[in-house]
Amino acid sequence: MFDLLLSAYLWVKALHVISVIAWMAGLFYLPRLYVYHAENDVPEELFQTMERRLLRAIINPAMIATWVFGLCLVFTPGVVDWSQIWPWTKGAAVLAMSAFHGWLAARRKDFVRGENKLSGRTYRMMNELPTLLMVVIVISVIVRF
């Protein structure tokens, strides 16, 4: 299995980066939709359809692909040196990003039930979290401190 991972390394790495970009794009856009949803008087169905499609068709599959390709990279011999700090900081940030993803999914259910209690301002502030986590992840992987 390790030989297969070594021979496919560049493809797996490319697919990982592609899936991360798709995941991040969705994580940036969904809270922005929530801002508009919380602040505007437009048909609920329009926002709920957009939010559902974004979550189910883009964000969820992209997160799964990110995890699958990321774990393949972790198990590729010679890629991760666990004695360094960077894999741990990256891992913690990825777990936090996944938790944020789950939080966004739960907020969508609140909107569907008509029970959203958060303001547009709160969603604007939460929209910054993926950026902060992305900074930690990219610096961890590139600088490898």
Report the amino acid identity of residue 50.
Answer: M
DSSP 72-110: HHHTSTTS--TTSSHHHHHHHHHHHHHHHHHHHHHHHHH
At residue 79, the pLDDT reads 92
Residue 141 vs residues 7, 111, 120: alpha-carbon distances, Å? 21, 36, 33
- List the one residue out of 47, 52, 28 whose CA is nearest residue 36: 47
Question: Which of 83, 87, 60 lies closest to 71 in space, CA to CA?
Answer: 87
pLDDT at 73: 96
Task: Quick: pLDDT tens for 42-55.
Answer: 778 889 999 999 99
Predicted structure pTM score: 0.92
